[in-house]
Amino acid sequence: MKNPIPRIAAIHDLSGLGKVSLTAIIPILSTMGVQVTPLVTAVLSSNTEYDGFEMLDLTKEMKLFLNHWKKENIKFDAIYSGFLGSEQQIDIVRDVIDYYQNDDLLVVVDPVLGDDGKAYKPMTTGLIEQMKVLISKANTITPNLTELCLLLDIPYINTPEIGQIKDWAFQLSQKGPENVVITGVQNDQNPHLTSVIAYTKAINKFWRVSCSYLPASYPGTGDIFTSVLIGSLLQADSLPIAIDRAVQFTSQAIRSTFARDRNIKEGVLIEKVLDSLKSPAIISSYELI
Ligand code: PXL
Q: Of all atoms in ligand 1, which is nearest to the CA of residue 49?
A: 10
Distance CA 61, CA 89 (A): 11
Number of independent structural domains in the chain: 1
Question: Which protein residue has the closest C-alpha to ligand 1 atom 1?
Answer: 220
Considering the domain boundaries, does residue 2 fall inside one? Answer: no
Considering the domain boundaries, does residue 25 fall inside one? Answer: yes
pLDDT confidence band for 187 (50 / 70 / 90)? confident
Considering the domain boundaries, does residue 155 fall inside one? Answer: yes
Residue 160 belongs to domain with CATH number: 3.40.1190.20
pLDDT confidence band for 225 (50 / 70 / 90)? very high
Considering the domain boundaries, does residue 205 fall inside one? Answer: yes
Distance CA 120, CA 117 (A): 10
Domain limits at 25? Answer: 7-288
Distance 48 CA to ligand 1 centre (A): 6
The answer, yes or no, to whether residue 282 has pLDDT greater than 80, is: no
Considering the domain boundaries, does residue 224 fall inside one? Answer: yes
Considering the domain boundaries, does residue 161 fall inside one? Answer: yes
Distance 15 CA to ligand 1 centre (A): 8
Question: Which protein residue has the closest C-alpha to ligand 1 atom 2?
Answer: 220
Considering the domain boundaries, does residue 280 fall inside one? Answer: yes
Considering the domain boundaries, does residue 1 fall inside one? Answer: no
Question: Which protein residue has the closest C-alpha to ligand 1 atom 12?
Answer: 47
Mean pLDDT of the chain: 94
Q: Of all atoms in ligand 1, which is nearest to the CA of residue 110?
A: 1
The answer, yes or no, to whether residue 213 has pLDDT greater than 90, is: no
Mutate which of 19, 81, 83 for ligand 1? The one with the most ligand atoms within 8 Å of its CB, which is 83
Distance 219 CA to ligand 1 centre (A): 6
